[in-house]
Amino acid sequence: MSHTILVTGATGTVGSELVKALANRGLTVRAGVHSLIKGDRLKQLNPEVQLVEIDYARPETLHVALTGVERVFMLTPFSEDQVEIGKRIIDAAKQVGVQQVVKLSVAGAEVTPGIQLGRWHREVEQYLEQSGLAYTLLRPGGFMQNFLNYNGEDIRREGRLYMPIGDGRVSYIDARDIAAVAAVVLSATGPEHHGQAYTLSGPAAVSGSEVATAISQASGRPVSYVDVPEEAAAQAMAEAPAWLRGSMLELQRLYKAGHAAGVSPVVEQLTGCPPRSIGQFTLDFQQQFQPAS
């Protein structure tokens, strides 16, 4: 068995950071991508990164991607069939003799009855737990990068951050810190992380207003938080599939109720570095909050 690590979803927010973190440690990284063309930028990060196509509609591609792999970072797409995809990866990993699977889950997945997003992840977690494979579960809260990926256009164009979460505080985490934890777990030479479930968060829970203030200070332009009614948020997602719209609105209700404000010490415990604050995140990405010239 080689010491190759497969990262699925390698071009995504967390996956791309993890590929970089693992490559920087001198580890052999195989990046699972839906499109080899899109994966080219991963080769630019490190030419030693192996690119492999994974198309979940073609199981043979998953088998090829996993062959000769010792450890897997399992990041499944946010799709209606994400549970089936997760189970398919686990079955294939077991079939080819993978030694460890690190699953990217979600904070609160263990809570019952929880929300739909958590239940989807928990079903796959339980399947992994019962698989006989060594496993580690990473359960992060909301990503700071979502302020760029989903709110960035409104922030750049209007100077407004629209969210239906009232005064709810959330312990958002920087995806780079998730990747740092995953890199520690995947590069460990012993079984100390096997069977562990780690909840990951940023250093503090912040409100929408505080996020807007941090963006304002970093970008040097006024950005205001707008608490929109849930009906307006639902209307903004009117063209999205019902499963996606419903699960996102449910998550935002959780935020509004203050149930995502818990702070975990795990990032610093495992990496030796405190997690990045929202202020640090906005400073690091200040140019991406600026209006297009």
In terms of domains, do 64 and 188 share one? yes
Regarding whether 126 and 57 lie in a shared domain, the answer is yes
Q: What is the pLDDT of residue 2?
A: 62
Number of domains in the chain: 2
Choose one of 200, 219, 246: the last residue of a domain.
Answer: 200
Q: Is residue 117 in a domain?
A: yes
pLDDT tens digit sequence for 235-293: 999 999 999 999 999 999 999 999 999 999 999 999 999 999 999 999 999 999 999 76
Asked if 196 and 220 sit in the same domain, the reply is no
CATH code, 185: 3.40.50.720
Q: Does residue 238 belong to any structural domain of this protein? A: yes
- Spatial CA neighbour of 263 closest among 252, 242, 249, 277: 277
The mean per-residue pLDDT over the stretch 114-123 comes to: 97
Which helix (H) or strand (E) segment holds residue 224: the answer is strand 224-227
Q: Is the pLDDT of residue 45 over 80?
A: no
Q: What does the pLDDT read at residue 1? A: 44
Domain residue limits at 180? 4-141+173-200
Residues 115 and 228 in one domain: no
In this prediction, residue 40 has a pLDDT band, given cuts at 50, 70 and 90, of confident
Structural domain includes residue 160? yes
* Residues contacting residue 176 through CB under 8 Å, at least 6 positions apart: 17, 276
Q: Are 164 and 76 in a shared domain?
A: no
Separation between Cα atoms, residue 135 and residue 86, nearest integer Å = 13
Domain check: are 75 and 163 in the same one? no
94 and 158 in one domain? no
pLDDT tens column, 50-73: 999 999 999 999 999 999 999 999
- The stretch 187-211 carries a mean pLDDT of 97
Q: What's the predicted TM-score (pTM) here? A: 0.96
One domain for residues 107 and 126: yes
Tell me what pLDDT residue 22 has: 96
